[in-house]
């Protein structure tokens, strides 16, 4: 099963570092980094606001545990956002390309 994993980081530099680690280990086929995402969230009983970089990681479900482990080892947050969503459809050639990368 193909998945998209959403991860926020405090800045683009950290997102690039994590993305590089994931790609080098072939845990992801493609990663988009969207800088300047505004995040509003509850943290330790207070409403917080932050500007972050959002990573959109394309991978496969069987890679999720390894992806999570690597992100947690490289991420500066004590509780990093790591959310995986199933890809329920997509362009067949693109999905085959993911298969080719993540063998």
pLDDT of residue 60: 98
pLDDT by residue (tens digit) across 14-64? 999 999 999 999 999 999 999 999 999 999 999 999 999 999 999 999 999
Structure tokens at 30: 């493609």
Q: Which fold has domain 2-101?
A: Alpha-Beta Plaits (3.30.70)
**What percent of the chain is predicted at pLDDT more than 90?**
99
Over residues 1-8, the mean pLDDT reads 98
State the pairing for strand pair 46-60/82-86.
unpaired
pTM attached to this predicted model: 0.96
Give the closest residue to 84 by CA, choosing from 101, 103, 61. Answer: 61
Cα–Cα distances in angstroms (integers) from residue 71 to residues 47, 49, 82, in the given order: 25, 22, 8
State how far the Cα of 28 lies from the Cα of 6, in Å rounded to an integer: 12
Over residues 76-92, the mean pLDDT reads 97
Cα–Cα distances in angstroms (integers) from residue 25 to residues 36, 45, 48, in the given order: 27, 37, 34
pLDDT of residue 88: 96
Cα–Cα distances in angstroms (integers) from residue 28 to residues 7, 42, 49, 66, 97, in the given order: 13, 29, 29, 10, 12
pLDDT of residue 95: 97
pLDDT of residue 33: 98
pLDDT of residue 17: 98
- 3-state helix/strand/coil string of 30-77: EEEEEEEEEEEEEECCEEEEEEEEEEEEEEEHHHHHHHHHHHHHHCCC
pLDDT-derived band at 1, boundaries 50, 70, 90:
very high
């Amino acid at each position: 099963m193909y998945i998209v994993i959403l991860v926020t980081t405090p800045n683009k530099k950290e997102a690039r570092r994590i993305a590089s680690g994931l790609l080098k280990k072939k845990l992801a086929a493609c990663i988009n980094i969207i800088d300047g995402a505004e995040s509003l969230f509850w943290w330790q009983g207070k409403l917080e606001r932050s500007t972050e970089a959002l990573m959109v990681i394309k991978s496969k479900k069987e890679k999720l545990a390894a992806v999570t482990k690597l992100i947690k080892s490289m991420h500066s947050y004590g509780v990093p956002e790591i959310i995986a969503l199933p890809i329920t459809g997509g362009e067949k050639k693109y999905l085959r390309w993911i298969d080719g990368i993540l063998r």
